[in-house]
Amino acid sequence: MRGFIKTTMKEFLNENNTKILNKSFNLTLDDVEYIYSDWDVEMLDSDEQDDLKKTIINFMKTGFSVDSNGKLLGVENFPETIKLYRLIQVDNPNNINIDNLGIHWTLNKKTLYNDNFLGQIGISFDSDEDLYIIEGIFNKKQIDIISTIIHQMSYEIENEITTYKNEKPRQYKIFKYK
């Protein structure tokens, strides 16, 4: 039975690569394969490889929602606008380049106060520089959904939403980190 399911999954993936899985971003099985190729799958057995593809597909097909910890559960029915947060460490808020605020944002403001998150992104409290939170409103078309899915599955603690390069929020506010 397991062999039949593997064969059926492989046939399905090979025969339907242009079938739309996610209408919000027009994601197809070709996108699943691209995302899948980002992992070092040689370390996984064939069942784990199939499970990874299923996880990617489920994430694409699950409606946009977040759990109680602010973790993104799916990207179908993605909102047309979304509020995101970014942490920047600078010596003077006037040195923040508002024309290039970066591509790595988080969905949940609480994430910015998580010690594991701060360590993972390299924030040092020993620095002379101060921390600032940027709150930005983005349009859905500014979101790099492929990179977002890869980061959501690779670095879960960051709750990352990735924007395309050089995208500026429609609106933004800058706050001192407290």
Q: Per-residue pLDDT tens for 34-60?
A: 999 888 888 888 899 999 999 999 999
Q: How confident is the model at residue 2 (pLDDT cuts 50, 70, 90)?
A: low
Say which residues have a Cβ less than 8 Å from residue 103's Cβ, sequence separation at least 6: 144, 147, 162, 163, 164, 165, 167
For residues 102-127, average pLDDT: 85
Q: Is residue 66 assigned to a domain?
A: no
Q: Kindly report the pTM of this predicted structure.
A: 0.84
Do 125 and 153 belong together in one domain? Answer: yes
CA distance 133 to 178: 9
SS3 content of the chain, % helix, strand, coil (to 5): 40, 25, 35
Do residue 57 and residue 89 come from a single domain?
no
Q: Is residue 112 part of a domain?
A: yes
The whole-number pLDDT of residue 11 equals 59
Structural domain contains residue 67: no
Q: Average the pLDDT over 81-109 and give the result.
A: 92
Are both 22 and 105 inside the same structural domain?
no
- In a shared domain, residues 38 and 93: no
Domain that holds residue 18: 2-61
How many domains would you assign to the chain?
2
- What is the total residue count of the chain? 178
Query: pLDDT by residue (tens digit) across 104-115?
Result: 999 989 888 888
What is the average per-residue pLDDT within 61-70?
90
Angle value at C-alpha 43, between 7 and 33, nearest 5 degrees: 50
pLDDT at position 26: 94
30 and 84 assigned to the same domain: no
| Residue-level pLDDT at 40 | 81
Residue 73 inside a domain? The answer is: no
Q: What amino acid occupies position 80?
A: E
| Mean pLDDT along residues 56-71 | 91
Would residue 46 count as lying in a domain? yes
Give the model's pLDDT for residue 8. Answer: 58
Identify whether 42 is part of a domain. yes
Whether residue 172 sits in one domain with residue 95: yes
41 with 104, same domain: the answer is: no
Within a domain: residue 6? yes
Band (68; pLDDT cuts 50, 70, 90): confident
Residues 86 and 131 reside in one and the same domain:
yes
